[in-house]
Amino acid sequence: MKKKTKKISKPKAAKPVRTPKRTKAPQARKTATRSKTLLFVPEIKVHATPEILVEETAHLFMQTSRNAVLERGRFVVALSGGSTPKGLFQHLSEEPYLSLVPWEKTWFFWVDERHVPLTDTTSNYRMTLENLLSKVPVPKEQVFPATDGSLPVEKAATAYEIKLRKFFGGAGLPQFDLALMGMGDDGHTASLFPRVEQLNESEKWVVGYFVDPEKKERVSLTFPILNQARLTVVLIEGIKKADRLKDVLEGSSEPPRYPIQYLRPAQGRLIFAMDAAAASKLKKK
Ligand code: 6PG
């Protein structure tokens, strides 16, 4: 975050620009489109290497950001943490993306957060600051950490929900232009873990609770909010995820056991973007 704070003027239509032509990444495959009845039907994109996965996802992030600014004058993104997105964030902080993404018109939220101080080594905010936000010109008032660990976790969730309601305003549910998700080894996504009651939350936008398997408190957007996103990209890399990914994509539909199967965008697209190692156990690629 280099630029001093700037008064945010009424968004002017960004000038139409040509984004660099893309050669098709090897092994990128599209499959079924999303079903209308809100089933779990993701598009699967397999990329040969982690480097190509990062490059293609960075390009998609850039295209989505520019289209959002063209259409609505701003790009509103919700990020996940963990380790997978680090490489993507570093790539986005370098050219050509440093110049191509409209950072001044980008608003950052988090899909979820560990309920710790922002300086804690496990904080998703800290990881994003170190790998991306400290290197791109996002005005600091456009960055909304989910929690700083200072309140009781349920109050922290309520405080984050108030921030979201204030930002999105009006009636209806908030719509992120992009929700960047991950998948845990147990099939969780965001901080929505197997068989917890928070999987069925239908009123709150944000939940805060003690996650027993992790022995940690977490703050997380709920599925009704996640599923409003215009584009949801699940970024999955490495052989360690291959078995679980096969269960999730080609096994039985058991969302309480594999919460990521609750990702069912109401209108948006759901893309599972992975490298060949993560996809290595899949039959349909
Ligand atoms: C978090 C994340 C979480 C993550 C998965 C995958 O706070 O940990 O938001 O949902 O995306 O656990 O984590 P890795 O990328 O570290 O495998």
Question: 87: Cβ below 6 Å to ligand 1?
Answer: no
In short, whether 100's Cβ falls inside 6 Å of ligand 1 is no
CA distance 260 to 256: 9
Q: Is the pLDDT of residue 129 over 60?
A: yes
- The preferred substitution site among 109, 114, 183 for testing ligand 1, maximizing ligand atoms within 8 Å of CB, is 183
Confidence at residue 18, expressed as pLDDT on a 0 to 100 scale: 47
Residue 178's beta-bridge partner residues?
Answer: 77
Cα 108 to chain centroid, rounded? 10
pLDDT band at 284 (very low <50, low <70, confident <90, very high): confident
128 lines ligand 1 (CB under 6 A): no
Residue with the smallest CA separation from ligand 1 atom 5 is 184
In this structure, the number of other CB atoms found within 10 A of the CB of residue 19 comes to 12
Report the range of poorest mean pLDDT among 19-23, 32-36, 223-227.
32-36
In the numeric block, which tokens belong to residue 229? Answer: 């996103």
Structural domains of the chain sorted by starting position, each given as residue range(s) with its CATH number in brackets: 34-275 (3.40.50.1360)
Record the pTM: 0.87
With a 6 Å cutoff on the Cβ, whether 259 touches ligand 1 is no
Q: Are strands 112-114 and 216-221 parallel, antiparallel or unpaired?
A: antiparallel
User: Do residues 259 and 192 make contact, with C-beta atoms less than 8 angstroms apart?
Assistant: yes
Q: How far is CA 62 from CA 21, 65, 78, 95, 250, in A?
A: 13, 5, 14, 12, 30
pLDDT of residue 170: 72
- Using the predicted structure, report yes or no on whether residue 27 has a pLDDT greater than 50: no
What tens digit of pLDDT does each residue of 237-253 get? 999 999 999 999 999 99
Which atom of ligand 1 lies closest to the CA of 182? 11
Percent of the chain with pLDDT over 70: 87
pLDDT, tens only, 255-278: 999 999 999 999 999 999 999 999
Q: Is 182 in the pocket of ligand 1 (CB under 6 A)?
A: yes
Torsion angle, alpha carbons of 204, 209, 212, 213, to 10? 60
Confidence of residue 14 (pLDDT cuts 50, 70, 90): very low
> At 209, is the pLDDT very low, low, confident or very high (cuts 50, 70, 90)?
very high
* Ligand 1 center from residue 241 Cα (angstroms): 12
Structure tokens at 15: 């000038």
Please tell me the predicted confidence (pLDDT) of residue 25.
40
5 pLDDT more than 60: no
How far apart are the CA of 83 and the centre of ligand 1, in A? 7
Structure tokens that stand for 265 in this block: 């965008």
Write out pLDDT tens, residues 33-80: 332 347 888 999 999 999 999 999 999 999 999 999 999 999 999 999
| Ligand 1 atom index nearest CA of 84 | 15
Ligand 1 binding pocket includes 123 (Cβ within 6 Å): no
Average pLDDT in the chain: 90
Which of the four pLDDT bands, split at 50, 70 and 90, describes residue 22? low
